[in-house]
Amino acid sequence: MKFFYKKNLTVLLAAVIVLSFTACGSSGSTGESGTSNQEEPADERGTSNQEETGKEGSGEPSAQEQPALDSSSSESDQNVIQAGSQPEEAVQTGLVAEQILQGETGEIHYSYYLPEGYSENREYPMMVVMPGYDMMWFGQDSSGANLNWNGFLCWTRLDEDMIVVSAQLTDWHETSARQAIELTEYFLENFSVDGNRVYAAGYSAGGETMSQAVSMRPDLYTAYLHGASQWDGEFAPIAENGVAVYIFMAEGDEYYGSQRARDAYDGLRAAYEDQGWTEEQIDAVLQVEIPDDAYFHERGITGNYHGGANVLFEDETILNWILSHSK
């Protein structure tokens, strides 16, 4: 009996030991699996949090925070981009439409064109051109009304690379003139503009605006194209600063009448004479063209000669005359 008891006790103890080792091994396996299942996602979340924190620390917004491009964005945001805070290769070229400059006299709605290959390492001539009444700013529905106007686009098609700016202003008086000046200065400060070759053009109401702007700041502008409009600025500052002027008006203009073009020409010529310029010198910087009805008939225009005078923007001889001048 003792032998049997001892033998059975030995077997029993062996079984207990085997069971203990099995239990320990099973417990260890469960622990590793638990660590894997619980800690790995925690590590992944930690990496993700660190990446997000890193973006915030660098000042870059995360993908969800990236602002959407919107043509109605305020110019305070656009100024940061256009002032050169982005690398040169990020500058958008071609037509940049429907921008807003927060000016001293209110919002200035404008569009502009930068030539392909635009570089801060060279300077470009610039044209600032204002359209007539039907393309001015009358609220959001009128936004971009000047984008297909040939008075804007013609300068972008010339052989010479240049910056072209056109605004939709809200009147044709001193406020709009000051806004045109402010827009000109903004581009001079923020883009690679040749300050000796800054040009202006205005058509109809835009001509009333720009004749004021050019006479208020003749130091800014080299030459001015005055299309189908009356002269609302002064004459003396133009001559004192040697600004070249080309006046174009249809003989049969129904709105202003061609006499206003003659009056502007005579006033400017007298101002140049007062400065001691010779006739030859004046002819080099002052031109007037008042074509008759036949001129327009040849071009398929048989009525509305005031609007038909937009054909001046198809005449590269006129456009290049403007661009031929430099301070």
Q: Where are the domains of the chain?
A: 1-66, 75-323
Of 6-15, 149-158, 208-217, which gets the smallest average pLDDT? 6-15
Does pLDDT of 43 surpass 90? no
Of 180 and 87, the one with more pLDDT: 180
Give the global pTM. Answer: 0.74
CA distances from 75 to 69, 101, 105, 131, 295 (A): 13, 5, 14, 21, 43
What tens digit of pLDDT does each residue of 316-325 get?
999 999 999 9
Comparing 55-64, 119-128, 245-254, 257-266, the range with the smallest average pLDDT is 55-64
| 33-38 average pLDDT score | 36
Specify the pLDDT at position 133: 84
pLDDT category of residue 139 using cuts at 50, 70 and 90: confident
Domain 75-323 sits in CATH at 3.40.50.1820
The whole-number pLDDT of residue 105 equals: 85
pLDDT recorded at residue 148: 92
Where is average pLDDT lowest: 38-52, 135-149, 167-181? Answer: 38-52
Which segment of 168-177, 213-222, 240-249, 257-266 scores lowest on mean pLDDT?
A: 168-177
pLDDT of residue 88: 46
In this predicted model, which residue has the larger pLDDT, 86 or 106? 106
> What mean pLDDT value characterizes the chain?
80
Q: Is the pLDDT of residue 118 over 50?
A: yes
Q: How confident is the model at residue 196 (pLDDT cuts 50, 70, 90)?
A: very high
Averaged pLDDT, 203-215: 97
Is pLDDT of 9 > 90?
Answer: no
pLDDT band at 268 (very low <50, low <70, confident <90, very high): very high
Phi first, then psi, for residue 103 (nearest 5°) are: -90, 175
What are the distances in angstroms from CA 104 to CA 138, 186, 196, 210, 237? 19, 12, 25, 18, 24
The residue that leads in pLDDT, 14 or 315, is 315
What's the pLDDT band for 145 if we cut at 50, 70, 90?
Answer: confident
Please report the pLDDT score of residue 96 as a whole number.
96
For residues 90 and 163, what is the distance between their CA atoms, to the nearest angstrom? 17
